[in-house]
Amino acid sequence: MEGKYEGDIGHDDHHNPCVEIAMEIHKVETPPKRSSLQKLKNRLKETFFPDDPLRQFKGQSTKQKWLLGFQYIFPILQWGPNYNLNLLKSDVVSGLTIASLAIPQGISYAKLANLPPIVGLYSSFVPPLVYAVLGSSKDLAVGPVSIASLLMGSMLRQEVSPTQDPLLFLQLAFTSTFFAGLFQASLGFLRLGFIIDFLSKATLIGFMAGAAIIVSLQQLKALLGITHFTKEMGLVPVMSSVFHHTKEWSWQTILMGFCFLVFLLVTRHISIKKPKLFWVSAGAPLLSVVVSTLFVFVFKAQHHGISVIGKLEEGLNPPSWNMLHFHGHHIGLVIKTGLITGIISLTEGIAVGRTFAALKNYQVDGNKEMIAIGVMNVVGSTTSCYITTGAFSRSAVNHNAGAKTAVSNIIMAVTVMVTLLFLMPLFQYTPNLVLGAIIVTAVVGLIDIPAAYQIWKVDKFDFVVMLCAFFGVIFISVQEGLALAVGISIFKMVLQMTRPKTVVLGNIPGTDIFRNKHQYQDAVSVPGFLILSIQAPISFANSNYLNERILRWMQDYQEEEETKNHSDLRFVILDLAAVSAIDANGVMFFQELRRVLEKKGVELVLVNPVGEVMEKLQKADGTHDLLQPTNLYLTVGEAVSSRFSSMKVGSC
Amino acid sequence: MEGKYEGDIGHDDHHNPCVEIAMEIHKVETPPKRSSLQKLKNRLKETFFPDDPLRQFKGQSTKQKWLLGFQYIFPILQWGPNYNLNLLKSDVVSGLTIASLAIPQGISYAKLANLPPIVGLYSSFVPPLVYAVLGSSKDLAVGPVSIASLLMGSMLRQEVSPTQDPLLFLQLAFTSTFFAGLFQASLGFLRLGFIIDFLSKATLIGFMAGAAIIVSLQQLKALLGITHFTKEMGLVPVMSSVFHHTKEWSWQTILMGFCFLVFLLVTRHISIKKPKLFWVSAGAPLLSVVVSTLFVFVFKAQHHGISVIGKLEEGLNPPSWNMLHFHGHHIGLVIKTGLITGIISLTEGIAVGRTFAALKNYQVDGNKEMIAIGVMNVVGSTTSCYITTGAFSRSAVNHNAGAKTAVSNIIMAVTVMVTLLFLMPLFQYTPNLVLGAIIVTAVVGLIDIPAAYQIWKVDKFDFVVMLCAFFGVIFISVQEGLALAVGISIFKMVLQMTRPKTVVLGNIPGTDIFRNKHQYQDAVSVPGFLILSIQAPISFANSNYLNERILRWMQDYQEEEETKNHSDLRFVILDLAAVSAIDANGVMFFQELRRVLEKKGVELVLVNPVGEVMEKLQKADGTHDLLQPTNLYLTVGEAVSSRFSSMKVGSC
């Protein structure tokens, strides 16, 4: 069978081509009729309910449905009744571990957001409790996170100074948190969770690395002891500010900061190498805080150039609903900040939840998680908390420490509560440099060079997107860098639609299989046939291009084949298997192409249109010119062998 | 062979399944290696030079290359040398015919743009000459057109009143025309012509119909004789203005306008029914102008409530480069107007050129046409012309009148020149109502109800886009209606990428062919196998969705098949023929899916990845776990029969 369709024209015939009347021919079918309304319903379902969340309710009794409904809204009702002492033991260990991390990080991140340190602790108390009731992840450790803190701080600082007008700044932060939560919950409720998918892996890696550098640079203030630090975030202003204030550098601060930074980085390194020693890096921040505070207290270092946090109030979260402002001329900024911090913290929370769910083989429902995180932030904004989500580093520690359920969040919250009630005076002498070192150590982990290298290997364009995000964040601004990367990603997607691939297929010798001639170098073309596969939906955005491109393929054929094999082009076969949809322009494309080819004496043959394409062609093509049985086949093989034999009939 | 893969499990075995060791297995190949640079070059070529304009230069001598180059830039050098008397005869007839249409339309459209009527004639003189040298269409009749005139007039009127400050308005119009031309030429030069493809057929039909109604409504001023007419464009303000000024209605104007309108519409109807009588509708406007002018002159009707054009200057286009303003506080509006009118007039010009080129079976190079139209407008803006392009109605008349080359444009320009030099005083008594009637007759043809019905039949979503454009133009504004429709079209495209189709394939009995089970109702599934086809590039925008969707298909399988046939799911086969590309997220999707399936004891088998997908999977997958020979097949048939027999080996 070698060279099934080859050799009959242009070579010596060693067998009669007329005998080779081919295989069985199969009909292309149209899917069963559905009304437009049914189609719309189906389309909406696929768009908004791809995970079919109501599946479990099918065929249940009414009482059962109510129970399932409550369990759906409050996952705690699902696992709560089976909770036992063994689980509690694990959760207490992991809860205490993440609390020891959450307290210093909470204070640090609040400073990153230009908020009073205590707000960071408030935010580690209420939101974890809310999440424990509503959330479906077993590993997520909830609290303030570095990037969202940075974003909120830098965006709000555009209009209000946190040092000159701290109360207004705080009010705007709570209001932004409220809007972020509202937005997050709405996304989940309206099943629009796919919006966070537009932050591709490449975008996120570039963005996180850029943000990590920006955050680290901000810590130079604390680590060098500079008092007159720039208020801008970019690489250039920060570096120039650092080197214009060399006189303010304090060697005591630098020495002490350097020691703690090295200590924290070493413990981090140990825990990465040996995940079982997770408690080394988990306990290190608290230990650093205790040691440095004692050091300052004993040596009265605050009088020797080392700046300290200062007095903190005792007591639990005061209510803050009276601090939410829904009018005034900062409302635009507040909503924008809410949107951006909301979407970024959502992305982190969902990604972390999914990662650990995949490790333990359970499912996290994205839309439901969004509602949980959103409600948590709305509640938080009324109880003096700023934006929170599932933190990557703390969740990893939580997971490694053996957390079994969301009870570990409750344990953490209780520990933070005890701290708030009784231990606040102890932080009075905590030096700012240790907070800076804790932040740097935490964000260094966001720079993921192996992942960046992997992206470089796999997809150069994604790498460019990553670089755009990275340099955009460093040199322009955090939010604009992000927008740039998302814009480029979407542009690439649109470009892909505008310039779909068309490939020439050839016959793999000895089979009926037709494949890309470029990929399968031994695939041979059939004389007289140009077989093309179109690999995208045909729509307004590409119908003109496809028309031009197909004519160019025909010119190529004429130049190459006709001089080589003296065979005129007789048939253009379009393999439509990969054309998943067409629109009105797509339909016209076929009609137009057929007309043009007819004028050139070439026949257009369509192969394997999918259901939707078939339906639309039928509807548009009143006379069914395009869809005659001799122009429509189920496989390329059948099309070629049928038309090939018809071509030969004349010469027999 | 009926039920090839069926019947072996769950039914009685009538033959030993172990014997059925299947067909030959073919290897999936990787395309030959190319460097990233080569790939980039290829991608750029496909994006910007899909028509390969340099093809003709290949293998020519240097002298020949220069000649071809000049001919490429000035198509007149190509057809000029072969021009003969016969062609000239045809061109003179068609040239005179379109001139008789262009003169009254030129005057009318200039009024539509709130410009002095004579600018319309200027614009029918210089641009056709420029186009004759640079353009590649043989049928395009160049001059002012209704929609671009309307757009320019209405956009500029937002900031400057044409009655209170006519000179500034004129300057802004010329400057906008300059920017429009610059933009058009740049699009062509940068090979970005595909931008006009984003105006889909549906968008254009809705937009044109809406604009036709807006334009017609504006003519009520002239046709009813109202003097205090609103300056707004929308349906609501115009209608309220019309019925608030019923006292200004002049019965003489209404009567006379009605007569001419009926006359023009009847002649138009005749020419549509019998294309050979094209001269009936082509000559009617000029005849109407002559008759109505004579009527006014003889009966002194201007003193009886009929408004006339008034004195017009004689003489050719004065230079206007000194009227171009590239600064001042209207510059933003001017650039915006240039962009929008530029893109709209480009769309009309290119579409008209392509339509008639297809009828006569010659090719029009979109990017080259853009340069021609752009240069024509830049030159026009320095010679007192406002925006021009290829007009649909006049080009149709030109084509029907037998135009052979762009010389018909030259004949038309000469006729307009004669008019400008000697005949201008004759227009002094032309009544405005006849211009209104001419415009209404011209734009009525833009309302294409059969095309709208066709779109309704073929694609409901496109119909919605059309309605948005239509109602947007009528009720909001011309440019916002357009933007709305384009936005929705692109949103649909993005949504298609976010929610790609996945379909379950089944075996068509008696073959190795696997097709959509929904479309081919007799296709049967193979027990133990879930065969899915993914029909879109896998990227960041859909990898999460696909993951969820595939898990749901598996649940469906488990619910249906396992209860029916008691066959556990063993293999998930993904047919990747239609996955034309993947990015870094796509690669991770496969790795993730494989991990999840492994945990469930299900194997992932990939079928027929295209070259790019194959390459990226290889690069990313260091250990080649995904691409083991037992997990990678060329066709679904081979995959199923190979894994099916391996499944049976255990039971033998």
pLDDT per residue as tens digits for the range A98-145: 888 888 889 889 988 999 989 999 999 999 999 999 998 888 999 999
Q: Give the CA angle between residues B387, B390, B395 to the nearest 5°.
A: 145
Better-scored residue on pLDDT, B164 or A302: B164
What's the whole-model pTM score?
0.80
Closest A-chain CA to B500 = A580
Q: What was the pLDDT predicted at A9?
A: 41
Contact (Cβ atoms closer than 8 angstroms) between residue B491 and residue A493: no
Segment B121-132 shows an average pLDDT of 94
- Give residues 622 to 641 of A whose Cβ lies within 8 Å of B: 634-635
Q: Positive or negative CA dihedral for A613, A614, A620, A621?
A: positive
The span from the CA of B34 to the CA of B31, in Å, is: 9
Residue of B195, B493, B494, B633 for testing the chain A interface, max A β-carbons within 10 Å: B493
User: What backbone phi and psi angles, to 5 degrees, belong to B505?
Assistant: -100, 150
Among the partner-chain residues B361, B510, B588, the one whose CB lies closest to the CB of A599 is B361
Segment A591-601 shows an average pLDDT of 87
Segment B410-420 shows an average pLDDT of 93
The span from the CA of A554 to the CA of A552, in Å, is: 5
Residues from chain B that touch A543, judged by Cβ atoms under 8 A, are 197
Closest B-chain CA to A538 = B493
**Structure tokens that stand for B101 in this block:** 């249409």
Amino acid at site A85: L
Residues from chain B that touch A582, judged by Cβ atoms under 8 A, are 459
Residues from chain B that touch A626, judged by Cβ atoms under 8 A, are none
Q: Positive or negative CA dihedral for A93, A94, A99, A104?
A: positive
Among the partner-chain residues B513, B543, B549, the one whose CB lies closest to the CB of A634 is B513
Residue of A47, A519, A532, A612 for testing the chain B interface, max B β-carbons within 10 Å: A519
pLDDT at A266 over 90: yes
Among the partner-chain residues B458, B499, B536, the one whose CB lies closest to the CB of A47 is B499
Residue of B580, B589, B596 for testing the chain A interface, max A β-carbons within 10 Å: B580
Question: Sheet containing A632-633: which strands, arranged edge to edge?
Answer: A514-516, A502-507, A529-534, A571-575, A603-607, A632-633
Helices (H), ranges, A190-277: 201-218, 220-224, 235-244, 251-273
- Give residues 225 to 284 of A whose Cβ lies within 8 Å of B: none
Q: Kindly indicate the confidence band of residue B148, based on its pLDDT and cuts at 50, 70 and 90.
A: very high
Q: How do B142-143 and B603-607 pair as beta strands?
A: unpaired
Segment A203-223 shows an average pLDDT of 87
Better-scored residue on pLDDT, A551 or A652: A551
**Structure tokens that stand for A351 in this block:** 């990604």
Q: Mean pLDDT in chain A?
A: 85
Q: What was the pLDDT predicted at B2?
A: 42
Render pLDDT for A571-589 as a digit per residue (tens, 0 to 9). Answer: 999 999 889 888 888 888 8
Segment A85-94 shows an average pLDDT of 90
User: Residue A213, Cβ neighbours under 10 Å: how many?
Assistant: 19
Residues from chain A that touch B26, judged by Cβ atoms under 8 A, are 508, 511, 513
- Give residues 20 to 49 of A whose Cβ lies within 8 Å of B: 24, 26, 29-32, 36, 39-40, 46-47
Asked if B459 lies within 8 A of A541 by C-beta distance, the reply is no
Residues from chain B that touch A634, judged by Cβ atoms under 8 A, are 508, 513, 515
Q: Return the residue matching tokens 């357009």.
A: B482
Asked if B519 lies within 8 A of A30 by C-beta distance, the reply is yes
Task: Write the CA distances from B584 to A201, A456, B546, B591, B594, integer angstroms.
Answer: 7, 9, 15, 11, 16
Asked if A50 lies within 8 A of B549 by C-beta distance, the reply is yes
Taken in order of first residue, the domains within chain B and their CATH numbers are 17-30+499-649 (3.30.750.24), 87-304+323-424+433-493 (no CATH)
pLDDT at B599 over 80: yes
Residues from chain A that touch B581, judged by Cβ atoms under 8 A, are 496, 501
Q: What was the pLDDT predicted at A132?
A: 93
Asked if A457 lies within 8 A of B555 by C-beta distance, the reply is no
CB proximity B584 to A under 8 Å? yes
Complex prediction ipTM: 0.80
User: Residue B649, Cβ neighbours under 10 Å: how many?
Assistant: 10
pLDDT at A52 over 80: no
Phi-psi region of A199 (alpha: psi -120 to 50; beta: other; left: phi over 0): beta
User: What backbone phi and psi angles, to 5 degrees, belong to B341?
Assistant: -65, -35
Among the partner-chain residues B50, B493, B513, the one whose CB lies closest to the CB of A494 is B493
A451 SS3 class: helix
Render pLDDT for A470-516 as a digit per residue (tens, 0 to 9). Answer: 999 899 888 788 888 888 888 888 888 888 888 899 998 888 889 98
- Give residues 364 to 393 of B whose Cβ lies within 8 Å of A: 366
Q: What was the pLDDT predicted at B649?
A: 54
> Which DSSP state fits A558?
I
pLDDT at B18 over 50: no
Q: What was the pLDDT predicted at B624?
A: 64
Q: What was the pLDDT predicted at B623?
A: 62
Share of chain B above pLDDT 70, in %: 94
Residues from chain B that touch A358, judged by Cβ atoms under 8 A, are 592, 595-596
Residue of A491, A493, A503, A548 for testing the chain B interface, max B β-carbons within 10 Å: A493
The span from the CA of B380 to the CA of B377, in Å, is: 5
Asked if A610 lies within 8 A of B535 by C-beta distance, the reply is yes
CB proximity B64 to A under 8 Å? no
Closest B-chain CA to A619 = B458
CB pairs < 8 Å spanning A and B: 242
CB proximity A494 to B under 8 Å? yes
The span from the CA of A461 to the CA of A609, in Å, is: 31
CB proximity A594 to B under 8 Å? no
- Give residues 505 to 534 of B whose Cβ lies within 8 Å of A: 508, 510-511, 513, 515-516, 518-521
The span from the CA of A22 to the CA of A641, in Å, is: 6
Which of A358-362, B174-178, B471-475 has the largest mean confidence?
B174-178
Asked if B200 lies within 8 A of A503 by C-beta distance, the reply is no
Q: What was the pLDDT predicted at A8?
A: 42
Phi-psi region of B581 (alpha: psi -120 to 50; beta: other; left: phi over 0): beta
Asked if B519 lies within 8 A of A587 by C-beta distance, the reply is no
Segment B43-66 shows an average pLDDT of 78
CB proximity A456 to B under 8 Å? no
pLDDT at B485 over 50: yes
Q: Mean pLDDT in chain B?
A: 85
Q: Which residues pair with B633 in a beta bridge?
A: B607
Segment A274-283 shows an average pLDDT of 80
The span from the CA of A183 to the CA of A377, in Å, is: 10
Residues from chain B that touch A363, judged by Cβ atoms under 8 A, are 551
List Cβ neighbours of B261 (8 Å cut-off, separation of 6 or more). Answer: B223, B437, B440, B441
pLDDT at B104 over 50: yes
